[in-house]
Amino acid sequence: MKKHKLLASFVLLLLSTKLLAMPTDYVVMRWSEQAGLSVDYHQIVDLPANQFVNKVKPAEKSVTLIGHDGTKLWVPIKQFLYTRSEHHGVEHIAGQQFLNDELTFVVRVKHGWVKSLLLPDNHSKSSVKYNWQQLLDSAVEKAPQQLSKAGSSTEDNRINLLFLGDGYTIGQQHIYNQHVDNAVKYMQQFEPYLSYADFLSVDRLFISSPESGADKPASCFSPSSFADTTFDASYCTNNIKRLLTVDYSKVYAAAAGNPNWDEIVVIVNDEEYGGSGGSFPVISTNTLATDVFIHEYGHSFTHLADEYTSPYPGYSACSDINGPACEANVTDVTDRSDLKWNYFIAQSTPVPTPVDSGYNNLTGLFEGARYLETGMYRPKHVCNMRNLGAEFCNVCREAYVLRVYDVNYAAGGKLSLIEPGTQIPVNSSPIGQVSVPMNFSIDTLQPSHDLQIIWFVDNVPQSSVNSSTVTQSFVLTPNQVGTVSVKVQVKDNSPMVHNSRHNELPIFEHEWTLNVQPFENYILKDGFE
Ligand SMILES: [Zn+2]
Ligand SMILES: [Zn+2]
């Protein structure tokens, strides 16, 4: 028996109306055991309502928001505990992880909705309840309401990747733009990012710094040097030379200028090798920086584990046998029938798989992963989550595609393969006439491979095609008076997701109910009446 869930296919209904932007509290908060909770920044921005909060309690650490009507919403604060650095070595990369003394996080929620906020139980013996309005009133910095963000609904139907720069002076904006362009261009050479390039919306903010570069403290650098920058970028965090970090709270506050971000990336204008992950990737302009970014995005967006073996003292263990479950790309299971990526392994490949030139390019079960030499396994000998700059393995690619459709973002939650607002007729209950052909169409959000498109009339399939054409249309000529349903379904049977899991991918649909009236020949009427 395969362990992965064989879920029935599910259908997501596309909202035919554009979600209205409304006043949203954008709040940057800071919490530590010693100081408790404080609010660094509050701004009211215009966003679609409650799109950045979970309606179901997530598995990861979260804060709970309680509405005036008693209902609850959750904001995950996963990843805010650790800082990770990636080091480019000959054989592998190494990570280090530090427990941050304080958590910095952003809450984006409909203005006026929240009554109180509960801190998670795991951060204090008993959970602490805060009055929301008092929290907002206590904000250290209060920005005025931002004007409506001029964006289309299509723009929200994307993974919004927001770049910010630190250590760029006012005259260096063109250099900053070049660095962002290079990072994006490099990223999109790699699968799975290449196939899903159009799913990304790359946004950038430029905030100049008084000086170029970043701090290089004396405990790691000789000679030491300091730069006055907007986000306080510094190497040598926790006395690790290459561990480059910024002031998370200041970055989150600045990101309010482009408040619908899904992922943040900070580029620090210094060529010294360094970077960090955790809340968001921070990279330098060293030539290896974009490799670090791609790898970090594997952690922050896809929730992949490191596949290398350098020890990482104190890292919490995982087990697919006893729990808590491991990330998609690592496992401690060695029984082939229970192995979660067994469908990618050829019958002729032994499990576990010896490191041998005959198998190194195949998917198997290779020992050594997630900071352990033994007892933990990875899917391929070489993968980007093990070696910076390498290709991602099949399992990591599949995990990305599944994640793309699972994340809560964009217009009201999930991303849609039917672009919001593109349906023709716009009206879901249009009027037609007997014997008069009527055209129906939608535009798709298109990966580089074909999507499956099925048209239905009164729930009877009329045509099914695999197509890469963005505009998909269907003509119906009604033959009798009454109502008739016309429906289109769009699905991504991605070649990067194994066939046996295609039923876990969502189906997106749009339906019109056509009201068919008797045929009237207006020209004849005009002529003879
Ligand atoms: Zn890593
Ligand atoms: Zn991998």
pLDDT at 155: 63
**8 Å CB contact between 113 and 53:** no
Residues 180 and 233 in one domain: yes
Residues 296 and 313 in one domain: no
- H helical segments located in 126-238: 132-137, 153-156, 173-187
CATH number, position 509: 2.60.40.10
Average pLDDT over residues 2-22: 46
Is residue 159 over pLDDT 70?
yes
Q: Which residues in 32-71 are b (16+ Cβ under 10 Å) and which e?
A: eeeeebbbbbbbbbbbbbbbbbbeeeeeebbbbbbbeeee
Alpha-carbon span 127 to 117, nearest angstrom: 10
pLDDT tier at 289 (50, 70, 90 boundaries)?
confident
Residues 162 and 271 in one domain: yes
Residue 408 lies in a domain: no
Give the residue numbers spanning the domain of 92. 11-300
Residues 226 and 112 in one domain: yes
pLDDT at 415: 87
Residue 500 lies in a domain: yes
Is residue 211 over pLDDT 70?
yes
Residue 315 lies in a domain: yes
The 3-state DSSP class for residue 197 equals: helix
Residues 259 and 280 in one domain: yes
For residue 278, the CA-to-ligand 1 centroid distance in Å is 10
Residue 4 lies in a domain: no
pLDDT per position as a tens digit, 49-81: 656 677 777 666 778 899 999 998 888 775 444
Final residue of a domain: which of 378, 393, 408? 393
Residues 130 and 57 in one domain: yes
Final residue of a domain: which of 269, 300, 331? 300
pLDDT at 356: 81
> Looking at the CA of 331, which ligand is closest?
2
Between 290 and 230, residue with greater pLDDT: 230
Residues 145 and 287 in one domain: yes
DSSP assignment letter at 336: G
Is residue 270 over pLDDT 80?
yes
- In terms of average pLDDT, the best of 50-64, 144-158, 401-415 is 401-415
Final residue of a domain: which of 351, 378, 393? 393
Residues 173 and 112 in one domain: yes
Is residue 194 over pLDDT 90?
yes
pLDDT per position as a tens digit, 384-397: 999 888 999 999 99
> Which residues are in the CB-under-5-Å shell of ion ligand 1?
306
For residue 86, the CA-to-ligand 1 centroid distance in Å is 6
Residues 427 and 382 in one domain: no
pLDDT tier at 126 (50, 70, 90 boundaries)?
low
Alpha-carbon span 340 to 363, nearest angstrom: 12
- DSSP codes of every residue in 108-146: EEETTTEEEEE--GGGSSS--EEEHHHHHHT-SEEPPPP
Pick the closest to residue 236 from 220, 224, 225 (CA basis): 220
pLDDT at 76: 74
Residues 225 and 276 in one domain: yes
Report CA-CA distances (Å) from 193 to 182, 189, 199, 396, 491: 15, 7, 9, 11, 19
Alpha-carbon span 280 to 302, nearest angstrom: 13
Is residue 435 over pLDDT 50?
yes
> Looking at the CA of 308, which ligand is closest?
1
For residue 91, the CA-to-ligand 2 centroid distance in Å is 15
Is residue 127 over pLDDT 80?
no
pLDDT tier at 353 (50, 70, 90 boundaries)?
very high
pLDDT per position as a tens digit, 474-508: 999 999 999 999 999 999 999 999 999 999 999 99
pLDDT tier at 154 (50, 70, 90 boundaries)?
low
pLDDT at 1: 37
For residue 365, the CA-to-ligand 1 centroid distance in Å is 20
Residues 357 and 380 in one domain: yes
Is residue 255 over pLDDT 60?
yes
Residue 349 lies in a domain: yes
**8 Å CB contact between 474 and 442:** no
> Looking at the CA of 95, which ligand is closest?
1
- For the chain, how many structural domains are there in total? 3
For residue 119, the CA-to-ligand 2 centroid distance in Å is 35
Between 166-170, 406-410, 425-429, the lowest mean confidence (pLDDT) is in 406-410
Residues 228 and 317 in one domain: no
Residue 22 lies in a domain: yes
**8 Å CB contact between 401 and 497:** yes
pLDDT at 505: 96
> Looking at the CA of 369, which ligand is closest?
2
For residue 410, the CA-to-ligand 2 centroid distance in Å is 27
Average pLDDT over residues 166-191: 95
CATH number, position 167: 3.40.390.10
Is residue 9 over pLDDT 50?
no
Query: What is the pLDDT of the chain when averaged over all its residues?
Result: 85
Residue 345 lies in a domain: yes
Residue 462 lies in a domain: yes
> Looking at the CA of 397, which ligand is closest?
2
pLDDT per position as a tens digit, 213-247: 999 999 999 999 999 999 999 998 888 888 889 99
